C-alpha cells in the first residue's frame, strides 16, 4: 500500500433560493471539508434543516437544476467539479468494461446517474452497477459504486463512504487518478466501511458481487485511451 497524499477538493456547497414554499438546503457543521457561506454556530438555539431526498427529487422533477451538475449529500446541495480529461476517460472506460463484462439479464451498468442512497443523500457516482429491474423511481440498491477522483478526493474519501455504507452498498471503489491507485472499500456498517485496501499497478480488482470478473489495475487508461479488453476469468489475473 502506498502512502496517502494530501487531499484536495474543489467541490462547493450551493445555498440557493428554491421554489416558493420549498425548504432551503443547509450545511452540516461537522463537514469541515465543505465550504459553507455562514457559521452555523451563529444561529444560537436555532437549527439548520437539511433538504430531504423526497424534496430534492421533487425539485428535480420541476426542472430546478436542469443546467447544473448537482448532487445531494447529507442534506446539502453540492455542485460537482467539472471533469478533466483523465477523469472523463477513466470513467467512460470503466463503464464500457463493466458493460462488456456483465450479464445484461442480471445487471444494469450506469454512468453519472443519481442513486437514492439515504433519506438525505442522492449522490451521483461516476459508475454504478445495479441489479436489473424496472423502476418507477431512482435505484436504491447498488452492487458496486465507482468514483473517479481527480479534484474530488477528499469528498470521495471522507463524505461518500458513510453515505454508501449506510445504503448497504457492498463495495465502493475510489479511483485515484493522480496516484494511479484504486481504493477498495467493503464490509459496510452504519459508520462506514470496515475494510479498506489500496490496489496499485500489478494488483487485480475482483468485484465481490459481480460473478467472479477480474480487472487488472494496470489495464485502466491512466495516461492514454485504450479499448476495454474482454473480461478476465478469476484465474487469469495475478
Residues facing 127 on adjacent strands: 111, 146
- pLDDT given for residue 8 in this prediction: 44
The cell numbers describing 40, all together, are 452555523
- Nearest one of 7, 16, 15 to 160, comparing CA atoms: 7
CB-based contact 188:209 (threshold 8 Å): no
The one-digit pLDDT tens for each residue of the chain (238 residues) are 444 444 444 444 443 444 444 443 333 333 444 444 567 778 888 888 899 999 999 999 999 998 899 999 999 999 998 889 999 999 999 999 999 999 888 999 999 999 999 999 999 999 999 999 888 889 999 999 999 999 899 999 999 999 999 999 999 999 999 999 999 999 999 999 999 999 999 999 999 999 899 999 999 999 864 555 555 544 444 4
Domains of the chain, CATH where assigned = 85-219 (3.90.1570.10)
DSSP letter at 237?
A: -
Neighbours of 37 (CB within 10 A): 9
Query: Could you give phi then psi for residue 217, rounded to 5 degrees?
Result: -60, -35
Q: Exposed (0-12), middle (13-18) or buried (19+): which is 139, by Cβ within 10 Å?
A: middle
Kindly report the pTM of this predicted structure.
0.78
CA distance 212 to 46: 52
CB-based contact 189:165 (threshold 8 Å): yes
- pLDDT given for residue 229 in this prediction: 59
Distances (CA, A) of 136 to 63, 133, 139, 140, 154: 18, 10, 9, 11, 33
Amino acid at each position: 500500500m502506498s502512502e496517502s497524499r494530501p487531499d484536495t477538493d474543489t467541490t462547493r456547497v450551493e445555498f440557493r433560493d428554491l421554489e416558493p414554499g420549498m425548504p432551503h438546503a443547509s450545511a452540516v457543521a461537522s463537514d469541515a471539508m465543505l465550504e459553507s457561506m455562514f457559521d452555523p454556530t451563529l444561529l444560537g438555539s436555532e437549527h439548520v434543516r437539511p433538504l430531504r431526498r423526497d424534496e430534492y427529487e421533487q425539485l428535480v422533477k420541476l426542472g430546478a437544476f436542469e443546467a447544473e451538475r448537482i448532487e445531494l449529500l447529507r442534506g446539502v446541495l453540492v455542485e460537482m467539479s467539472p471533469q478533466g480529461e483523465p477523469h472523463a476517460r477513466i470513467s467512460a472506460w470503466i463503464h464500457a468494461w463493466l458493460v462488456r463484462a456483465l450479464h445484461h439479464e442480471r445487471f444494469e451498468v450506469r454512468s453519472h446517474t443519481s442513486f437514492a442512497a439515504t433519506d438525505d443523500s442522492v449522490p451521483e457516482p461516476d459508475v454504478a452497477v445495479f441489479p436489473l429491474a424496472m423502476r418507477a423511481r431512482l435505484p436504491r440498491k447498488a452492487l458496486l459504486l465507482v468514483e473517479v477522483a481527480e479534484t474530488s478526493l477528499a469528498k470521495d474519501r471522507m463524505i461518500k463512504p458513510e453515505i454508501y455504507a449506510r445504503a448497504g452498498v457492498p463495495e465502493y471503489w475510489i479511483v485515484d487518478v493522480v496516484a494511479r491507485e484504486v481504493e477498495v472499500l467493503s464490509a459496510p456498517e452504519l459508520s462506514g466501511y470496515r475494510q479498506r485496501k489500496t490496489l496499485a499497478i500489478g494488483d487485480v480488482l475482483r468485484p465481490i458481487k459481480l460473478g467472479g470478473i477480474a480487472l487488472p489495475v494496470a489495464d485502466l487508461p491512466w495516461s492514454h485511451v485504450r479499448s476495454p479488453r474482454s473480461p478476465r476469468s478469476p484465474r487469469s489475473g495475478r
